Amino acid sequence: MQFLSRYGRTDWFGPLLVTILAAIIVGSLSPSFLSAFNIQVLLLAVAINALVAYSQMIIIAIGEMNLSVGAIGGLAAISFAGMMQVWHMPILPAALLGILIGLLGGIINGVIISLTGISAFVITLASLSIYKGINLGITEAQPFYGIPNLVKHLGNAPFLGPLPWLIIPTAIVGFGLWLMLTRLPIGRCILAVGGNRHAAELSGISIRLTVIVAHALSGAIAALAGILLCARLQIGQPTIGDDWLILSFAAPVIGGAVLTGGHVSVGATTLGVVIVAIITEALVLFNIDPFLVQVVLGVLILWAVGINRLREFRLKPLRRA
């Protein structure tokens, strides 16, 4: 009992329970769900979507939001593909430059936000248009097709059993973020700034630097997600990132993140991504009327935040005690 209540309080316990339950239910109704190939497909989706969610999560941690996550990811993806096709750049430098572009995009967001004090919502709304606009201006909305075969291979093939290559960068980033948020000073600064900006400032934390670092990280992670998606889709699509916004918020929120900041969990966010992936897949597996899919996703978000809300109410007295 004590064991249960101890784990019941952590962020990841609820989502983990839901994940296991969902996997068991879907798996028992449709045995092929647990086949190696299906797990590989699931992991591919999770690998990219988890990065999208992390990218937003780190901004939620400082109590802001970043609407330009998708625009940065798209810009990095088409830069990556474009540099390889047009300039015949080798893969690694192209990928690094792509991530650098994302990093830069994030830094620009962060610097403007922290220097002017204008809300991140407005600034990233503007930069969303700018980054997306640059993307459209460069590509004229036509995809880049010249993706090297090695990239296509890495974007789809497994390296061990059902584990795809794409899961490796995601795992590294996830572990790095966990390490940073729980063990490193900068992580504590981020959570402190999100939790109570005024108190953080009084205790000597540089708000500006923290905000810039968080946005830079967010940009770099979004760029990485864009590049991986580009490898997975085998083309540099200008529309990459257009539909990330809902997911980027849904997964951290399902994972118990508090939108005012100061409280996020890498593990629970990842589980949030897994839950969304399983549900998306279940809708296809069970042949749900395609016209209803949107409704189910909307209800899912509400249901998840509802659960969170309940948990928060239940936990409040505990925390105070």
Partner 1 sequence: MSRLTKLLGCVGALLFSGLAVAYADPSTKIALVPGGPHPYFASWAQAGADAKKDFNLGAADYKVPEQWQLADQNNLLESLVTQGYNGFLLFPGDPVGSVSTVQELTDSGAPVIALAGCLKDPSTASFCFGTDVYRSAYLGTQHLIAGMAGTKKRILHVTGFLVDPNTQLRINAVNQAAKEGGATVAETIADIDAPGPAEEKINAYLAAHANDIDGIISTAWVPSVVSANALRRIGTKRIKMVAIDHDKAVLQGVKDGYLLGTMLQNPYGQGYIGSYAIDKLRNGCKVNASAPWTKNALTARFIDSGTVFAGPEQVDNYLQSMQAITKTIFASFAKTYLICSK
Partner 2 sequence: MHPPSLQIMDISMPSDGPAAASLDASDTTLTPSPRVRRVRFYLTNEFGLVLLIIIFGAAFTFAVPRFLSHFNLFILGRTAAENIVIGFAMMVVVVTGGLDLSVGAIGVCAAMGGGWLMQVAGLPWPLAVIGGLLLGAALGFVNGWAVVRSGLHSFIITLASMSIFFGVMIFITRAQAFRSIPLSFASFAHIRYFGFISPLLLLAVVIMLALVYLYRLTALGREMLAAGARASAAELSGVRVKRVIILCHMLAGLLAGVAGLMLVARNDAAIPSMAGQLGQDWLLPAFLGPVLGGTLLSGGFVSPLGTLLGSFLLTLLTNGLLLLQIGQFWVEAVLGLLLLVAVLLDQARRSFIARRRMI
235 binds partner 1 (CB under 8 A): yes
119 binds partner 1 (CB under 8 A): no
- 230 with 80: CB under 8 angstroms? yes
Q: What is the token pair recorded at 164? A: 């795809």
- 56 with 218: CB under 8 angstroms? yes
22 binds partner 1 (CB under 8 A): no
Q: Taking Cα atoms as reference points, which of 43, 146, 156 lies closest to residue 94?
A: 146
Given the rule CB under 8 A, which of 5-13, 40-48, 99-107, 308-316 is the region that contacts partner 1?
A: 40-48
x/- binding map, residues 124-143, to partner 1, per CB under 8 A?
------------x---xxxx
Residue numbers of the site for partner 2 (CB under 8 A)? 63-65, 112, 116-123, 125-134, 136-137, 140-141, 246, 249-250, 253, 259-261, 289, 291-299, 301-302, 305-306, 309
Quick one: 94 or 276, whose CB is closer to partner 1?
276
Quick one: 153 or 314, whose CB is closer to partner 1?
153
Angle at 69 between CA 63 and CA 70, to 5 degrees: 150
Q: Taking Cα atoms as reference points, which of 69, 90, 60 lies closest to residue 151?
A: 90
Distance of CA 281 to the CA centre of its chain: 19
In the complex, least distance from residue 201 CB atom to partner 1, rounded to whole angstroms: 40
- 166 with 226: CB under 8 angstroms? no
In the complex, least distance from residue 167 CB atom to partner 2, rounded to whole angstroms: 28
- 54 with 269: CB under 8 angstroms? yes
Residues numbered 143-172 forming contacts with partner 1, rule: CB under 8 A: 143, 145, 156
- 63 with 261: CB under 8 angstroms? yes
The span from the CA of 9 to the CA of 311, in Å, is: 8
287 binds partner 1 (CB under 8 A): yes
In the complex, least distance from residue 85 CB atom to partner 2, rounded to whole angstroms: 18
In the complex, least distance from residue 258 CB atom to partner 2, rounded to whole angstroms: 8
Question: Would the CA dihedral through 50, 225, 218, 179 be positive or negative?
Answer: positive
Quick one: 206 or 234, whose CB is closer to partner 1?
234
How many chain residues bind partner 1 (CB under 8 A)?
38
Long-range contacts of 312-318 (CB under 8 A, 24+ apart): 315/9, 318/9
Q: Which residues of this protein are in contact with partner 1, per CB under 8 A?
A: 30, 32-33, 35, 37-38, 40-42, 44-45, 136, 140-143, 145, 156, 229, 232-235, 237-240, 242-243, 277, 280-281, 284-285, 287, 290-291, 293
